[in-house]
Amino acid sequence: MNSEKIKLSVVWLKRDLRLADHEALYHALSSKKPCLILYVFEEILLNDFHYSSRHFNFIKQSLIDINNQLAILNTQVLCVKGSVIEVLEVLLKKYSIVLYSHQETGIGLTFDRDKELKLWADSGGIQWYEFLQQGVFRRLPNRKKWIHLWTSHMNRPIFNFSPINDQLLSKASIASLEKDLVVMDLQTSKSKWFQPGGEQNAKRYLNSFFEGRYLNYQKYISKPDLARKSCSRLSPYIAWGNISMRQVLQRTEEEKENGKISSALSPFGSRLRWQAHFIQKFEMECRMEYESINKGYHALVKEKDQDYLNAWEKGQTGIPMVDAAMRCLVTTGYLNFRMRALVVSFVIHQLWQPWQAISGFLARQFLDFEPGIHFPQIQMQAGETGINTLRIYNPVKNGIEHDPEGKFVLQWIPELSKLPQRFLHTPWEITSMESILYDFKQGEDYPNPIVDIEKTRLKASQTLWNLKNNSLVKKESKRILNRHTLPNRS
């Protein structure tokens, strides 16, 4: 039966929504067989609590961008809804297929999906070629060889997109396949808040970073408002694969060679390396999605308080810096590193909530949600790894230091606009006389702090420091260091 069918190389896009430096696409095209690029809006992800419409809009914009590039070749991505196996079964009615994709280090749901797909492919004699995308390697026992593997992966030449004539299925052939599938509408409404998806936008951000924004990278990295411009803002483009890490790293090296100030670029380069370092950790300890990497902390039982969680999610905790950051995140999908760490530290330490109660909500908000960074970072900020310094951020001190004029706070909490600058990070300090003077009612115009941040900081810090001496925490810390630390690090 199969021999009568036309052979088709199917490139299954996931978090690799680009044409350039796409190893799976490159190899599919090198097969010289007819080729189809496929994206499946999977029901399991559309309904999963880590994902939200902001992610799917970004994906749709990325696919439109690819389609715009493909239009000249009279082709497009087949964009459908369903399960990958169901969609491939439809393709199999007409074609004999070989599958090409990148390896994914994702949540349990996509791992299970990949295992099911592998069984299905094997049982049907379908070949599935998987390629590395992030310099993250499967089945590594430890990090002894990782940095060498990662470096040679990142130093490989860029894979060009160069199909031969009419190799990609024509729009007409794709339209005929669509008749048996649920086609996804790619239109999204414009938003002034979210970074727009797509390979061209990724390039735009990369170029503007090297054209000048990079100069203030280190200076403003912790400033909630200024970092939005001086950081690269490449995270959603990297997370959804609009640009490969290899492209970003090689461009960074080129810029240094061409005379860009290397002291300004080296802290950026370090962070680029952290990306795969974190994802590799998650690849090797994927239960981190559900439980702390250090088993000693499983004994830490915290009760979920829905009122606290609601106040935190809505930016109504009464602590201006926390509330401004949360409102900003919900509206724009982005926070710089320090603000992410601060809001997580607040809810986990000061509100004493389990990290599992916030990871889904935060994943839905971050436009750049990358499971391999998300879960390890949350656990680091929660102080539940046993190997990182415990940091409980003081939101008032951070506000005064990083938003001294209160610009960020005022942008997101206009209720505070009647107050003079000195009260913007501590509105609860105004006296009743000042309250009349400024026509501002603390507790009514803006909530009173839901906790005493000093008392709760002390309690959290004592509990976590005591746990550090627990024998299982210590044993696990040793195991984690042996398994995840690079050889040249202490």
Ligand X SMILES: Cc1cc2nc3c(=O)[nH]c(=O)nc-3n(C[C@H](O)[C@H](O)[C@H](O)COP(=O)(O)OP(=O)(O)OC[C@H]3O[C@@H](n4cnc5c(N)ncnc54)[C@H](O)[C@@H]3O)c2cc1C
The region of 184-192, 270-278, 281-289, 411-419 touching ligand X under the rule CB under 6 A is: 270-278
Smaller CB separation from ligand X, 292 or 377: 377
Q: What is the DSSP letter of 190?
A: -
Question: By three-state DSSP, how is residue 328 classified?
Answer: helix
Q: How far is CA 197 from CA 60, 124, 191, 201, 208, in A?
A: 8, 36, 11, 6, 16
Smaller CB separation from ligand X, 117 or 319: 319
Smaller CB separation from ligand X, 317 or 379: 379
Instruction: Enumerate helices (H) and strands (E) in the chain, giving the number of each.
Output: 23, 6
- Nearest residue to 310 via CA among 458, 453, 450: 450
Q: Which of 9, 57, 195, 235 binds ligand X (CB under 6 A)?
A: 235
Smaller CB separation from ligand X, 15 or 374: 374
CA–CA distance, 107 with 56 (Å, rounded to integer): 16
Smaller CB separation from ligand X, 239 or 328: 239
Question: By three-state DSSP, how is residue 102 classified?
Answer: strand
Smaller CB separation from ligand X, 99 or 364: 364
Q: Does 154 bind ligand X (CB under 6 A)?
A: no
Using CB under 6 A as the criterion, what x/- string covers residues 315-354 for binding ligand X?
A: ---------------------xx--xx--x----------
Interacting residues of 359 by C-beta distance below 8 A, sequence separation 6+: 50, 289, 374, 375, 378
Smaller CB separation from ligand X, 128 or 210: 210
Q: How far is CA 477 from CA 19, 76, 275, 297, 298, in A?
A: 42, 49, 22, 11, 13
Q: Does 381 bind ligand X (CB under 6 A)?
A: yes
Q: Which of 370, 384, 403, 476 binds ligand X (CB under 6 A)?
A: 370
Smaller CB separation from ligand X, 350 or 381: 381
The region of 1-9, 264-272, 413-421, 463-471 touching ligand X under the rule CB under 6 A is: 264-272
Q: Which of 210, 278, 312, 361 binds ligand X (CB under 6 A)?
A: 278
CB of 196 to ligand X, least distance (A): 15
Q: Does 42 bind ligand X (CB under 6 A)?
A: no
CB of 237 to ligand X, least distance (A): 8
CB of 368 to ligand X, least distance (A): 4
Q: Which of 22, 102, 233, 364 binds ligand X (CB under 6 A)?
A: 233
Residue count (the chain)? 490
Terminal C-alpha separation, the chain: 60
Smaller CB separation from ligand X, 374 or 402: 374
What are the structure tokens assigned to 386, written together?
């046993």
What are the structure tokens assigned to 217, written together?
């990278």
Q: Please, what's the b/e burial string for 132-161 (b: 16 or more CB within 10 A of its CB; e: otherwise)?
A: bbbbbbeebeebeebbebbeebbeeeebee
> Taking the CB of residue 11, how many other CB atoms lie within 10 A of it?
24
Interacting residues of 224 by C-beta distance below 8 A, sequence separation 6+: 321, 324, 325, 328, 335, 336, 338, 339, 402, 403, 408
Q: Does 265 bind ligand X (CB under 6 A)?
A: no
Q: Does 472 bind ligand X (CB under 6 A)?
A: no
What are the structure tokens assigned to 205, written together?
């951000």
Residues 193-232 that bind ligand X (CB under 6 A): 231-232
Q: Which of 274, 310, 429, 455 binds ligand X (CB under 6 A)?
A: 274
Q: Which residues bind ligand X (CB under 6 A)?
A: 231-235, 238-239, 268, 271-272, 274-275, 278, 336-337, 340-341, 344, 366, 368-370, 373-374, 377-378, 381
